[in-house]
C-alpha cells in the first residue's frame, strides 16, 4: 500500500491530476481496494483501472471507489453468452447480470468501458449481431472487442493445435483482429468479417452520439463525456 501511494504522489508531484492504475482485477482483494481508495481520496485525484464487473455486488465498496475519484473502469464482460463465459473459467461472471451491473455502475458515476471477445466455440453470426444490440441498448460509452486468439505457448493454442484447428503459426498475424483458428459454429473468414461488421456498427457517428451524447449519466461528468467521445472517434478512425 505504501509503495502504491508513494507512486501516486509522485505522479501528482509531476503535475498530473489523474492516473491509470494497472491491475487486471483490482476488486479481487476488496479490503485492500477499500483502504487504497481511502488513501487516494485524500490526494484529490481522478483515476481509472480494471476490475471484474461484479464490483456492483458490494454497494459499500462501489460507493467508496466512486467517492475516491474513480470515474472510469474497464470491465471484462467477455461475452453475452453464458456458455462462452464458462469456457473462460470465470464462474463469477453471469451474462444475465450484465445489464443490471452496467446500469448500477453507470449510476454510481463510473464511466463503463467493456472488453468483449468473439470467436469462441459458442459464437455464431447471430450472437455477434446480438452483441451489437447489447452494446447499443445499454449505451456503453467505451466498448472494445477482440477476436479470440490462441497465442502460441498457451494451453488454448496447444489444445487447438492438437485438434488440428490452428490456421497458422505466423506470429505476425496474431493481432487480435483476424481469426487464427477454426471455431465450431462459424467459419474463420466469416468470423473475421463479422468482427469488422461489429466495429462498423458500433462506431459510426450515429451510434457514438447515441451511446455517449444521449447517455444521461455521462453528463454528470463532462470531462469523461468528452473523453468517451474522443476514444470513440479514435476507434472509428
Task: Write out pLDDT tens, residues 28-50.
Answer: 899 999 999 999 999 999 999 99
Distances (CA, A) of 26 to 23, 30, 76, 98: 6, 8, 12, 19
The Cα–Cα gap between 72 and 176 comes to: 24
Give the sheet arrangement for strand 70-78, strand by strand.
18-20, 46-51, 70-78, 111-118, 142-147
Place 131 in a pLDDT band, splitting at 50, 70 and 90. very high
Range with the poorest average pLDDT among 4-8, 56-60, 79-83, 134-138 = 56-60
Q: What are the chain's domains?
A: 2-148+183-236 (3.80.30.20)
Helix (H, G, I), strand (E, B) or coil at 84: helix
Residue pLDDT, tens place only, 155-198:
999 999 999 999 998 999 999 899 999 999 999 999 999 999 99
Largest Cα–Cα distance of the chain, in whole Å? 56
DSSP 57-80: G-HHHHHHHHHTTEEEEEEEEE-S
pLDDT band at 217 (very low <50, low <70, confident <90, very high): very high
Give the whole-angstrom CA distance, residue 112 versus residue 36.
Answer: 21
The predicted pLDDT at position 25 comes to 86
CA-CA-CA-CA torsion sign (182, 185, 186, 187): positive
- With a cut of 90, say whether residue 78 has pLDDT above it: yes
pTM attached to this predicted model:
0.92
Amino acid at each position: 500500500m505504501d509503495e502504491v501511494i508513494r507512486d501516486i504522489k509522485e505522479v501528482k508531484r509531476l503535475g498530473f491530476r489523474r492516473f491509470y492504475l494497472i491491475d487486471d482485477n483490482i476488486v479481487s482483494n476488496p479490503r485492500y481496494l477499500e483502504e487504497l481508495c481511502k488513501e487516494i481520496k485524500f490526494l484529490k485525484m481522478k483515476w481509472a483501472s480494471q476490475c471484474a464487473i461484479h464490483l456492483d455486488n458490494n454497494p459499500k465498496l462501489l460507493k467508496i471507489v466512486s467517492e475516491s475519484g474513480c470515474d472510469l473502469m474497464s470491465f471484462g464482460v467477455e461475452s453475452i453468452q453464458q456458455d462462452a463465459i464458462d469456457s473462460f473459467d470465470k464462474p463469477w461472471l453471469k451474462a444475465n447480470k450484465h445489464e443490471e451491473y452496467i446500469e448500477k455502475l453507470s449510476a454510481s458515476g463510473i464511466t463503463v468501458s467493456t472488453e468483449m471477445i468473439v470467436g469462441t466455440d459458442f459464437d455464431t453470426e447471430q450472437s455477434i449481431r446480438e452483441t451489437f444490440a447489447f452494446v447499443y441498448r445499454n449505451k456503453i460509452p467505451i466498448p472494445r472487442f477482440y477476436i479470440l486468439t490462441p497465442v502460441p505457448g498457451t494451453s488454448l493454442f496447444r489444445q487447438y493445435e492438437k485438434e488440428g484447428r490452428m490456421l497458422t503459426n505466423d506470429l505476425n498475424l496474431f493481432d487480435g483482429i483476424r481469426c487464427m483458428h477454426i471455431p465450431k459454429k462459424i467459419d474463420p473468414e466469416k468470423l473475421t468479417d463479422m468482427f469488422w461488421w461489429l466495429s462498423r456498427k458500433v462506431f459510426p457517428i450515429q451510434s457514438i452520439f447515441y451511446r455517449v451524447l444521449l447517455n444521461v449519466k455521462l453528463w454528470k461528468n463532462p470531462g469523461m463525456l468528452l473523453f468517451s467521445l474522443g476514444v470513440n472517434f479514435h476507434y472509428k478512425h
